[in-house]
Chains A and B, each alone.
Chain A
């Protein structure tokens, strides 16, 4: 490489502090006014937030003191934190869902590191799901059985999301392949299934599973309510994932399919070895997007009487002792937890996108 070429590709000189920050903000009179107004608004909000969270904070007392005060109600958070997270799960057994969540997070953490990607991750996940279920449900290894009506709070939200996505994913891949199939019957069935499920809101499917299904059952036969909601979420997730995966399949050039066929691979081999690996890599961002959406959509199960995380927070706020005393605190607590997990998923998705910039461009 010659000297002149190097000169030509050298970056322009780095702008100084003044040029980078002051000029864009105060360069013209209009910009200066906008900047000052924004700073002023920021100051007002920050001052109010500081006053609420720090100077006027109510450090101890009960609901009456919090209602009288105008700051954050810390005793509410202290008294109700465990309830908001674990809900009506028996108090003495809270370590079980806590441990189950830990196992779950470790499994997620391991799966997030590309170096560990491989077949044995499936085993890790199988172990994590079984261990988590045994811990929460009990009935084995001397653990007291806990009925599903007492599963609640954050663990319930995680179960609904994790199982929904873990089982919805294979369903979605199969549906996507079926929709791209050359066989008209299979294609029509897949299109019908996907479009019907995507064409109705999740709430209506949950209602269908909770209200209608038991009426079709013979007298005396009941299916666990959590199971019904879970199946509804799996089916719903399957339909959405199918459409994302279909996008990936369509992005694979024809030549790849033809190359697989010319190697003499039959359909499943071609899909498994040639088409699906790059197709699934392409759709990782939309899949993470769907995951975030479903994590938040699980709050809808509250309308069929399951106590997910948001409902346990609201239940805590309606304890007669605290009612009306800690509305903002409760919702902020819920928002913080949702934000942490959703942001985490989003950040990971962006990392993956950078790392897996495969594509056929």
Chain B
């Protein structure tokens, strides 16, 4: 230590001082829950804007499906769904935002893929929305399947995977097509409506909302093929199993609630239910909450604050909203869909 150079000493002090001045977010492994509790709110990375999933209402309050996934976590941790601070993250910076500790949880229509899961130091939570890329064409073209789209001009957005999926689907089938890329979703939509393209492609959930705003929605058909799987899931940092469990089971609580027919409105009547699974879920008996490091009524708070899955879906993207999605694969497994919550026991 005697040979310490003055320059290094000064540099070291400078760095230490600099770091001291920076806002520090303790994002150590295993400590996310403690950090969240200490801070008093969940930092949630969301899309700046995605109709139905993350958008701001007239008063600037963020709403949407992705927002509700975060609100469920907040309700589980704090008993209050509104202790969420949304941090808008663009597609390009979303994973860094999570890695650097800027957010505790990323809930922004992120597709769960092998390479993302295994190369980014991140973990994916449960699939909250089963999406897939689809193709929409004007009904007057009389196209019945994607196979008939020879030499079509297709309008695409410069997504991370949209164009790649199109290529992956058409090339092995030897179908020629021309992709026209639009940076802005308004131009992209209008180009299709004005006939600049023969077809338009994006995730099926988005296609439905494009059709919903068409001058005459009946003039457009979404082709039956789903050309890619897009399972959307929340993302957390790796190495914090407890936090990942909280995110995972906050969501499963909503699925289980739908399965058990518990809603926001009737959850209180279920507190006296004789069904042992309901009792465990709502914290009337057992100690599931303690295993997560949360309050015994954590799942009750999720259901009371955000509702069950059906309520969350219908409120944000369901048939009565301008997005107008049907449940499709996002139905419960008992109704022919893919939603399946592991048992609460």
Contacts and interface: CB of A to CB of B under 8 A. Distances in A.
B329 interface: no
A190 interface: no
A88 B60 contact: yes
Interface of B is mostly: loop
Contacts of A215: 96, 99-100
Contacts of A64: 322
A214 B94 CA distance: 12
Contacts of B25: 220-222
A219 B62 contact: no
B144 to A, nearest CB: 27
Nearest to B100: A214
A296 interface: no
Interface in B13-37: 19, 22-28
Given A221-B19, A305-B88, A211 B215 contact: no
Nearest to B64: A320
B92 interface: yes
B102 interface: yes
Interface residues of B, number: 45
Nearest to B46: A305
A220 B48 contact: no
Contacts of B28: 219-220
Interface stretch (A35-43, A262-270, A307-315): A307-315
Contacts of B100: 214-215, 217, 222
Given A83-B58, A90-B60, A219-B27, A318 B51 contact: yes
B57 interface: yes
B48 A83 contact: no
A55 B50 CA distance: 33
Interface string A76-99: 000110110011111100000000
Interface in A202-241: 207, 210-211, 214-215, 217-225
Contact of B60 (A86, A211, A217, A225): A86
B324 to A, nearest CB: 9
Contacts of A89: 60
A306 to B, nearest CB: 8
B315 to A, nearest CB: 11
B92 A87 contact: no
A325 B90 contact: no
B51 A319 contact: yes
Nearest to A318: B49
Contacts of A220: 24-28, 101
Contacts of B86: 88, 149
B234 to A, nearest CB: 17
A219 B88 contact: no
Given A88-B60, A320-B209, A323-B322, 5 more contacts: A207-B92, A220-B26, A221-B22, A225-B102, A302-B90
Interface of A: 63-64, 67, 79-80, 82-83, 86-91, 147, 149-150, 152, 207, 210-211, 214-215, 217-225, 302-307, 311-312, 314-321, 323-325, 327
